[in-house]
A = this chain, B = another copy of it.
C-alpha cells in the first residue's frame, strides 16, 4: 500500500540535519518533517524555526514514540548512529542514516541486525551516487560506452582541514572521508573489493599526525573482477573542493571535472584564468543531497528497495578498516583479513 506523503522525524539538528531539513521543506513535496530532536537545544530550535518544523525536542526517543511518524533521518554525531538505528528499528521507523553506520563492525552489525529483524527500510547517506556527474559516469559504464572497465582514479580533496579536534575524533581519514570514495568505486565498477593498500602522511601539518592519523593519502583498491584503481585524498586543496573520477575501459575512457560557480574565463596580460570551483560540499552537492532524500522518500512511500543499502554501508566500513591496517602495516590487506568481515 503506497503512502501519499511521508511523515519524517529528524534526529540531529547539526549541519547535515539542517541541510536535509531545508531540502525536505523546500524541494521534496512528498515528505514533511513533523519533529526535530537534538541535544543541542538552540540548534534544534533554530532548525525548527527556519524550516517550519512543528516540534523541536531534546530526546529523539520522543520522535520514535510518535506513531504518526513513518521514518527518521539520522544525522546526529557518528558515534550515535548505530544506537539510533537500533532504537528506530525497534520503533518500526524506516531509516535514513548519514555515513558511516558506525566506526567499527560490531556496532555496524548490531545496527543492521536490528534493521533486519524489524523489517524496516534503511538507506545510507552516500549522496554522491545521486550527483548528476557521477551518475553520468555510472550510466556510461553500465551502458558499455567505455567497454569493460580496467582501471580507475578517484580524486577527493577537501578545501581545508577540519579542526584538529574533529580530525582526531572522526574515526580517521579513511572512515570519515575516503568512505565516500570506497562507495563510489563500488558504485562505478560494479564488483566487490578484494584488497586495499594505503599510503599516507601528515603532509599538510605535522600536528595532524598524532595517533597515526594522516591528512593526505593514496590508496590502491583491487576488485574481484580484475579492475584496480587509486584513490587520492587530501584534507587541503587550497584551490577548492576537488571531486573527480576517471575510468579507463577497453573501448574508451571517461573523466569528470569539478563544478564551478560560473562559466567565465578572464584573459589578461598575465594569464588566462577562471574562478575556483565550488568550495563547499553543501553547494557542490545540493542537487545530490536533495535527490538522495527524495529517493528515500519514494522508496518508503512506494515500498521499493532503497538505492543504498545497509550492506553497501557495511562494506565501506570494512574497506576503511582494511585501509587503516594497510597503512599501519605497509602492505596490501585483503578485506577478508578484517575481523568480522
28 A-B pairs with C-beta separation under 8 A: A26-B27, A133-B264, A135-B262, A136-B261, A145-B266, A145-B268, A146-B266, A150-B234, A151-B216, A153-B153, A153-B155, A153-B232, A199-B228, A203-B227, A230-B232, A237-B253, A242-B253, A252-B269, A253-B266, A254-B264, A255-B264, A255-B265, A256-B263, A257-B265, A258-B263, A270-B276, A271-B274, A271-B276
Q: Give the Cβ gap from A276 to chain B, nearest Cβ, in Å.
A: 6
CA distance A240 to B273 in the complex (A): 14
Query: Is the CB of A20 closer than 8 A to any CB of chain B?
Result: no
Q: Give the Cβ gap from A145 to chain B, nearest Cβ, in Å.
A: 6
- Interface of A toward B, CB cutoff 8 Å: 26-27, 132-133, 135-137, 140, 145-146, 148, 150-151, 153, 155, 157, 197, 199-201, 203-204, 216, 218, 220, 222, 226-230, 232, 234, 236-240, 242, 248, 250-259, 261-277, 330-332
CA distance A270 to B268 in the complex (A): 14
Nearest B-chain residue to A149, judged by Cβ: B203
- Going nearest first, the 3 A-B pairs with the smallest beta carbon separation are A239-B267, A273-B273, A252-B268
Collect the chain B residues with CB atoms within 8 Å of residue A266's CB.
Answer: 140, 145-146, 252-254
